[in-house]
Amino acid sequence: MPNSKAIGEASIDTGTPSLNSSLEKASMVKDFMALIKIGIVNSNLITTFTGLWLALHFSGQSFLGSLDIVFFTVIGSSLIVAGSCSINNYIDRDIDHLMERTKDRPTVTGKIEGSKVLVLGIVLIGIGTIFLSFTTITATVIGLLGVFSYVVLYSLWSKRQLVSNTIIGSISGAVPPLIGWAAVDANLGMVAWSLFIIMFFWQPPHFYALAMRRVEEYRAAGIPMLPVVKGFKTTKKHIVLWVIALLPTPILLTSLGIPFLILATVLNIGWLVLGIYGYKIKDDIKWAKLMFVYSLQYLTILFVAMVIVTLV
């Protein structure tokens, strides 16, 4: 019979490679998620799905009867967003090490070669485009326009040169609900464009708040974000003005009913009140954090509510 010591050693010998393998796989998954910016993919997925859902609702089509369209849209849009984010990581690999929130990306640490990241991005966009092509040509074209606006107009051109980079980048962020809608109905109606407008107006106050919190990192990286170039006072003014621009947007979605209009109005007023509070609070960074967190909750609640009200 083998002694207990031998058994213990055998367990250790066979267990260690297994543990290392599991850790390596976990690390690879983590790196991949960082490359595709899974947080951005997920948030865009919410707005894409909402656009798709509302298009089905207003065109009188069944969700269960359109599962093929849902599948192609969800996968296709997610892949092109993931691919665009990968290419953004490739483009920014020379400055990401200067920022705390991006310094651990695999393109910075050297875990993954830049050329491979670029290829990954192109492949993901290519496959995503193929998936979207099984819906409508309009959805496919809008998806590619979104890729162009994020990769070329924002990442390659405006991000490092223009103070208005955030506004230009908002174009790509507002595209997902249009993709979802167009996948069902190529004739983009008022509701579809209303979702685009809401997403476009939402992004500047969201990202300006983030830029205030990370102002020194953006300054070190040489990115002309509004708080870097114009300061906190001007940035706070711009944030409030963009939130004010959101105030009348619920009127564009009267077709979703009174309960939704009330909820959207309350969310808008709450954001504005918090914005005005910024002129009284002394700690600008604390206020920026509150505005940033509110913006995330705002977007999630608003778009989830759009789906829920159509179920009642």
Q: CA–CA separation, 42 vs 127, rounded Å?
A: 18
- Give the model's pLDDT for residue 2: 46
- Which tens digits make up the pLDDT trace of 226-278? 999 999 999 999 999 999 999 999 999 999 999 999 999 999 999 999 999 98
- Give the model's pLDDT for residue 24: 65
- On the CB side of 222, how many CA atoms lie within 13 Å of its CA? 6
DSSP string for 133-177: HTT-HHHHHHHHHHHHIIIIIIIIIITTT-TTHHHHHHHHHHSHH
Q: Are residues 152 and 279 in the same domain?
A: no
As for how many domains the chain has, the answer is 2
* Greater model confidence, 184 or 17: 184
Among 131, 156, 188, residue at a domain's last position: 188
Among 157, 188, 219, residue at a domain's last position: 188
Average pLDDT, the chain: 92
> How does residue 17 score in pLDDT terms, banded at 50, 70 and 90?
low
Q: CA–CA separation, 65 vs 57, rounded Å?
A: 12
Q: CA–CA separation, 113 vs 27, rounded Å?
A: 16
Q: CA–CA separation, 173 vs 88, rounded Å?
A: 14
Residue 8 lies in a domain: no
Q: Are residues 171 and 195 in the same domain?
A: no
Residue 3 lies in a domain: no
Among 153, 188, 223, residue at a domain's last position: 188
Q: Are residues 101 and 30 in the same domain?
A: yes
- Which tens digits make up the pLDDT trace of 58-110? 999 999 999 999 999 999 999 999 999 999 999 999 999 888 888 888 988 88
Residue 15 lies in a domain: no
Q: Are residues 112 and 202 in the same domain?
A: no
- Give the model's pLDDT for residue 111: 87
Residue 143 lies in a domain: yes
Residue 11 lies in a domain: no
Containing domain of residue 194, as a range?
Answer: 190-312
* CATH number, domain with residue 44: 1.10.357.140
- Which tens digits make up the pLDDT trace of 23-69? 667 778 888 898 999 999 999 999 999 999 999 999 999 999 999 99
Q: Are residues 145 and 89 in the same domain?
A: yes
Q: Are residues 153 and 249 in the same domain?
A: no
- Give the model's pLDDT for residue 11: 42
- Give the model's pLDDT for residue 10: 42
